[in-house]
């Protein structure tokens, strides 16, 4: 009598145990890997005289500093290009857009070999001073551990996507000592929903990463800021204005990143040489502006200190960092955009403060709040994660006043950037691959499903010489009202019905028509099915029934809703 209820109640318990074990294992592995990644980059920066402290130690040999500044990023770029070309099946760096694609469309990550090569080239890129970021590669590294869970046959729905998100959350939590931000980033950028089934394990993974980074290794915070509070109420208007200006700068930065890839490809035909050329540009610039080298953590910290940079120096640094980051990413260096976005934003904030308090003569609360607010406003516009950026500020500073000030800048920045550009750089990159999230997850998922997957074997075709009487009999036997007329070359010539004879087709789908496009184009359509032809040549491929299109759409929407509301 009681056996059946016990077996039913055991299933959620088993799922909970599997999800918890996955979160702990993936979270710990991603955290240790992220720490190792950062330490390797730091060691290379010191060995290759990229780090400011290492350069100071050898300043008595200026020729060595000059030689290293020119050769290290150039040779590092050549190494990156050769590794991608000869060892990676994908032949390109992998990053957050690939993670989002895998989770959203329930696909495996690109092959593991390409992922490992991308991680190796990211370490080499960052270690040799390329103007790229470390957080994008760390996100992908965390996702690699989560992707390994795809091989486990546990019966837990969407386990692979949840596991990837666990790895992402742990990597972010480790990088920033910010477990709440890691949790929200995974949901805000990768999963794009807050179902309980995913929320619980991702929380466990993020907390695991934080414990490993903060308790076991006692890693230092990104920066420490003393901030007594916003001294003047009108400064919140300045924070809003800062957010708007930062958004415009972020839009310019993102457009330049997207444009540099094709531009560099047109300029340098051999892919393996492109990163080397970008590395040479970094080295030449660094002879005059060494702060453009690498991640720029020290520069980021100095931006929160009053008087650390002059106004002219800030302008030059901002422009140089924007151009070099876009060039490095477009040329094929492995790395992200989040770290450069933090640095560029902080410099813009420091410049805004200098102009407002110096030139404008406005009393302010100090440079730190403007640098941090602009830093997160710029980064949130680039990665499309305003909540994550607000929470990072709070978890790093533990200060409500500075968090609220940053929140105002972030909100206004996202309002402008979302309207004028899009949700994020990642979303635009995915849209260029045919995965457009601008109209929602449902539409993006349907847009990658071709109608050719729904072709019906029952559709009736007729040739030029088939007599109407015989065609009418075939239609009556099959229960169809229409037949598709083909010419001698197999091209669609029209539609035949017993009542109207042969008429032109009122609606035709091409072989690249998606389910989303089909649903839009079928408004007002009346008929059994829609013919599908090749876009080149118009050769008839088959027909898709109206009922099959509607059923596929309903099934897919139901699966999406189930995923978004899944409980343990």
Judged by DSSP in three states, 12 sits in helix
Q: pLDDT tens digits for 77-121?
A: 999 999 999 999 999 999 999 999 999 888 899 999 999 999 999
For the cut 70, the answer to whether the pLDDT of residue 486 exceeds it is: yes
For the cut 90, the answer to whether the pLDDT of residue 399 exceeds it is: no
Q: What is the pLDDT of residue 468?
A: 83
Q: What is the pLDDT of residue 112?
A: 92
For the cut 70, the answer to whether the pLDDT of residue 544 exceeds it is: yes
**CA proximity to 136, closest of 334, 375, 384, 301:** 334
Cα gap 146→149, rounded to integer Å: 6
Cα gap 6→264, rounded to integer Å: 63
**β-sheet bridge partners, residue 509:** 532
Q: Residue range 3-16: average pLDDT?
A: 56
Q: pLDDT tens digits for 493-503?
A: 888 888 888 88
Predicted confidence band of residue 2 (pLDDT cuts 50, 70, 90): very low
List domains and CATH numbers for the chain. Answer: 10-216 (1.10.3080.10), 235-435 (1.10.3080.10), 444-564 (3.10.580.10)
Structure tokens at 170: 């742990």
Q: What is the pLDDT of residue 43?
A: 95
Q: What is the pLDDT of residue 65?
A: 93
Cα gap 438→28, rounded to integer Å: 34
For the cut 90, the answer to whether the pLDDT of residue 11 exceeds it is: no
Q: Residue range 36-62: average pLDDT?
A: 92
- Report the chain's mean pLDDT, rounded to a whole number: 89
Among 286-300, 326-340, 477-491, the least confident range: 477-491
Contact 158, 563 (CB under 8 A): yes
Q: Residue range 152-159: average pLDDT?
A: 76
Residue bearing the bigger pLDDT, 321 or 550: 321
- Annotate 123-152 with b (16+ C-beta within 10 A) or e (fewer): bbbbbbbbbbbbbbbbbbbbbbbbbbbbee
Q: What is the pLDDT of residue 246?
A: 97
Q: Residue range 381-408: average pLDDT?
A: 91
Q: pLDDT tens digits for 171-190?
A: 999 988 889 999 999 999 99
Q: What is the pLDDT of residue 222?
A: 67
Cα gap 215→210, rounded to integer Å: 8
For the cut 50, the answer to whether the pLDDT of residue 27 exceeds it is: yes
Predicted confidence band of residue 481 (pLDDT cuts 50, 70, 90): confident
Q: What is the pLDDT of residue 555?
A: 86
Cα gap 106→100, rounded to integer Å: 10
For the cut 90, the answer to whether the pLDDT of residue 268 exceeds it is: yes
Contacts of 531 by beta carbon, 8 Å cutoff, 6+ apart: 459, 484, 492, 495, 505, 508, 509, 540, 542, 543
Contact 546, 528 (CB under 8 A): yes
Q: What is the pLDDT of residue 221?
A: 67
Q: What is the pLDDT of residue 10?
A: 40
pLDDT > 70 fraction of the chain, expressed in percent and rounded: 97
Angle at 337 (CA atoms; ends 97, 445), nearest 5 degrees: 20
Q: pLDDT tens digits for 333-371?
A: 999 999 999 999 999 999 999 999 887 789 888 899 999
Element (DSSP H or E) covering residue 509: strand 509-510
Q: Residue range 527-550: average pLDDT?
A: 87
For the cut 80, the answer to whether the pLDDT of residue 74 exceeds it is: yes
Q: What is the pLDDT of residue 6?
A: 38
Burial category of 172 from C-beta neighbours within 10 Å (exposed 0-12, middle 13-18, buried 19 and up): buried
**CA proximity to 409, closest of 354, 362, 371:** 371
Any idea which residue has 């002219």 for tokens? 312
Predicted confidence band of residue 484 (pLDDT cuts 50, 70, 90): confident
**CA proximity to 403, closest of 181, 116, 141:** 181
Which of 156-165, 250-259, 515-524 is the most confident on average? 250-259
Cα gap 158→23, rounded to integer Å: 14
Interhelix angle 196-210/3-47, nearest 10 degrees? 40
Among 89-98, 441-450, 513-522, the least confident range: 441-450
Using H for helix, E for strand and C for coil, what is the string for 27-44? Answer: HHHHHHHHHHHHHHHHHH
Structure tokens at 317: 């640094």
Q: What is the pLDDT of residue 7?
A: 39
Cα gap 1→9, rounded to integer Å: 14
Structure tokens at 40: 């390797």
CB under 8 A, 24+ apart: contacts of 313-320:
314/347, 314/350, 314/351, 314/354, 315/351, 316/289, 317/289, 317/291, 317/292, 317/347, 318/249, 318/344, 318/347, 318/348, 318/351, 320/285, 320/289, 320/292
Q: pLDDT tens digits for 299-322?
A: 888 888 888 899 999 999 999 999
- Give, as one character, the DSSP assignment of residue 272: G
- Give, as one character, the DSSP assignment of residue 356: I
Q: pLDDT tens digits for 202-230?
A: 999 999 999 998 888 877 766 667 777 88
């Amino acid at each position: 009598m009681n056996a059946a209820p016990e077996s039913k109640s055991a299933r959620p318990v088993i799922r909970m145990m599997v999800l918890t074990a996955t979160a702990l294992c993936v979270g710990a592995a991603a955290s240790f890997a992220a720490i190792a990644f950062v330490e390797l980059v730091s060691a290379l920066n010191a060995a290759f005289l990229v780090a400011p402290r290492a350069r100071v130690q050898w300043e008595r040999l200026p020729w060595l500093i000059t030689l290293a500044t020119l050769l290290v990023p150039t040779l590092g770029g050549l190494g990156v290009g050769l590794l991608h070309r000869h060892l990676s099946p994908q032949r390109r760096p992998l990053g957050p857009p690939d993670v989002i694609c895998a989770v959203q469309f329930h696909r495996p990550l690109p092959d593991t070999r390409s992922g490992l090569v991308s991680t190796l080239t990211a370490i080499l890129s960052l270690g040799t001073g390329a103007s790229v970021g470390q957080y994008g590669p760390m996100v992908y590294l965390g996702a690699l551990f989560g992707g390994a869970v795809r091989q486990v046959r546990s019966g837990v729905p969407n386990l692979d996507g949840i596991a990837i998100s666990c790895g992402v959350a742990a990597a972010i939590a480790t990088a920033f000592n910010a477990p709440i931000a890691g949790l929200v980033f995974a949901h805000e950028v990768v999963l794009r929903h807050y179902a309980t089934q995913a929320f619980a394990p991702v929380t466990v993974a993020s907390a695991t990463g934080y414990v490993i980074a903060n308790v076991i290794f006692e890693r230092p915070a990104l920066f420490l800021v003393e901030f007594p509070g916003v001294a003047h109420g009108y400064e919140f208007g300045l924070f809003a204005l800062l957010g708007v200006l930062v958004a415009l700068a972020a839009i310019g930065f993102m457009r330049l990143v997207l444009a540099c890839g094709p531009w560099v490809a047109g300029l340098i035909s051999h892919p393996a040489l492109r990163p080397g050329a970008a590395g040479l540009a970094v080295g030449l610039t660094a002879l005059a502006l060494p702060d453009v080298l690498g991640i720029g953590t020290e520069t980021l910290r100095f931006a929160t200190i009053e008087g650390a940079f002059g106004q002219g120096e800030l302008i030059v640094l901002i422009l140089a960092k924007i151009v070099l980051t876009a060039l490095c990413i477009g040329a094929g260096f492995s790395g992200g955009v989040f770290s450069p976005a933090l640095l560029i934003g902080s410099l813009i904030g420091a410049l805004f403060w200098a102009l407002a308090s110096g030139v404008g003569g406005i009393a302010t609360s100090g440079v730190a709040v403007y640098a941090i607010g602009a830093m997160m406003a710029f980064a949130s516009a680039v990665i499309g994660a305003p909540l994550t950026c607000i929470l990072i500020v709070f978890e790093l500073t533990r200060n409500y006043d500075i968090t609220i000030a940053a929140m105002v800048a972030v909100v206004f920045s996202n309002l402008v950037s979302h309207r004028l550009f899009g949700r994020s750089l990642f979303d635009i990159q995915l849209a260029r691959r045919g995965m457009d999230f601008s109209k929602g997850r449902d539409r993006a998922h349907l847009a990658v499903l071709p109608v050719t997957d729904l072709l019906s074997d029952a559709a009736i075709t007729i040739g030029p010489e088939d007599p109407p009487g015989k065609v009418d009999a075939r239609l009556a036997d099959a229960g169809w009202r229409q037949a598709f007329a083909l010419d001698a070359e197999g091209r669609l010539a029209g539609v035949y019905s017993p009542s109207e004879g042969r008429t032109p087709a009122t609606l035709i789908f091409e072989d690249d028509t998606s389910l989303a496009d089909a649903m839009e184009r079928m408004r007002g359509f009346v008929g059994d099915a829609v013919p599908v032809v090749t876009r080149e040549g118009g050769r008839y491929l088959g027909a898709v029934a109206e009922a099959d299109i509607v059923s596929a759409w309903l099934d897919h929407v139901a699966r999406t809703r189930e995923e978004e509301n899944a409980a343990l």
